């Protein structure tokens, strides 16, 4: 290389040059990349859940949560919603839960962005799966690990694990693509 030429990332580069080169490539700060990765992961969770619902006859996470939510809503609120929205009340509940889950996915992505690692991804996937199997499904009258679902506990456990695995894979991949510094190996 010639003595007078400059390349981004080399020692002796002008102070603002590396920053402008990074912004020209479209690199996002980790504080924004984490929530975006979480939203992508939530979208993957919804898509995989919907596909497995068709294949295995397992309720999706928003469906299970809507069953759970109807048990804990006060009667007068439930009655008001039915009277006000009539046939659209069920769809409104479903899409409201989808929006809440997307926000939770963004929040989990923000937490992931603070200390992104494959171990954290696996721990997050397993913790979410266990929470669903041991808290959400029993509270929705579907039994532990979906034992009261017609498809059976093996199909339910596999479907939710696959959905959460899709969440973890997309979360990690999108974050990895948006934050090049996360690609470096830690010693």
How do residues 101-114 score in pLDDT, each as one tens digit? 999 999 999 999 99
| pLDDT tens track for 19-41 | 444 444 557 777 899 999 999 99
Residue 77 has what pLDDT? Answer: 85
Residue 88 has what pLDDT? Answer: 87
Burial pattern 69-99, b for ≥16 Cβ within 10 A else e, equals beeeeeeeebeebeeeeeeeeeeebbeebbe
Residue 21 has what pLDDT? Answer: 43
**Mean pLDDT, the chain, integer:** 85
Q: How far apart are alpha carbons 158 and 66 in whole angstroms?
A: 21
pLDDT above 70 for 14: no
At 10, is the pLDDT very low, low, confident or very high (cuts 50, 70, 90)?
very low
Residue 71 has what pLDDT? Answer: 78
Q: How far apart are alpha carbons 101 and 65 in whole angstroms?
A: 10
Q: Which residue has the higher pLDDT, 184 or 131?
A: 131
Q: Which residue has the higher pLDDT, 3 or 107?
A: 107
Lowest mean pLDDT among 68-77, 92-101, 153-162: 68-77
pLDDT above 60 for 166: yes
- Whole-model pTM? 0.79
Residue 99 has what pLDDT? Answer: 96
């Amino acid at each position: 290389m010639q003595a007078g030429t400059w390349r981004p990332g080399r020692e002796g580069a002008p102070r603002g040059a590396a920053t402008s080169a990074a912004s020209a490539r479209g690199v996002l700060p980790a504080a924004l990349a984490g929530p975006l990765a979480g939203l992508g992961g939530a979208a993957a969770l919804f898509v995989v859940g919907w596909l497995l619902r068709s294949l295995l006859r397992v309720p999706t996470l928003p469906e299970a949560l809507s069953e759970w939510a109807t048990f804990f809503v006060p009667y007068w609120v439930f009655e008001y919603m039915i009277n006000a929205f009539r046939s659209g009340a069920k769809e409104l509940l479903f899409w409201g839960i989808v929006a809440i889950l997307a926000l939770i996915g963004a929040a989990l992505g923000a937490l992931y962005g603070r200390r992104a690692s494959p171990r954290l991804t696996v721990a997050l996937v397993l913790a979410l799966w266990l929470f669903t199997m041991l808290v959400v499904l029993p509270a929705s009258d579907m039994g532990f690990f979906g034992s009261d679902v017609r498809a059976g506990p093996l199909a339910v456990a596999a479907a939710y694990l696959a959905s959460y695995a899709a969440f973890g894979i997309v979360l990690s991949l999108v974050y990895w693509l948006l934050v090049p510094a996360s690609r470096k190996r830690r010693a």
